[in-house]
Amino acid sequence: KSIRVTGDEIQLVFNSKFIGNVFVRDVSGRSIYQDQLVSDLYIMDVSSWSQGIYLITLQKDSGVIESHKLFID
């Protein structure tokens, strides 16, 4: 899996189909974005997001959770 920030997009690229949810929070803990995923490629439009640090959490249907810190500038 890889996470790419390219211009106004965040691309989540998985080695195989990811089934679960994505949650994004800002550094104050405020929920910015959430969606269900069933894909090996997922693209988020971040053009309206402010510059800053965000925490992306991926939660598989199996319950496995992983988090990643992103910088948007």
Q: What is the pLDDT at residue 42?
A: 96
Q: How confident is the model at residue 6 (pLDDT cuts 50, 70, 90)?
A: confident
- What is the per-residue pLDDT across 17-69, written as a single tens digit (0 to 9) for each? 999 999 999 999 999 999 999 999 999 999 999 999 999 999 998 888 999 99
Span 10-23, mean pLDDT? Answer: 95
Q: What is the 3-state secondary structure (H, E, C) of the chain?
A: CEEEEECCEEEEEEEEEEEEEEEEEECCCCEEEEEEEEEEEEEEECCCCCCEEEEEEEEECCCCEEEEEEEEC
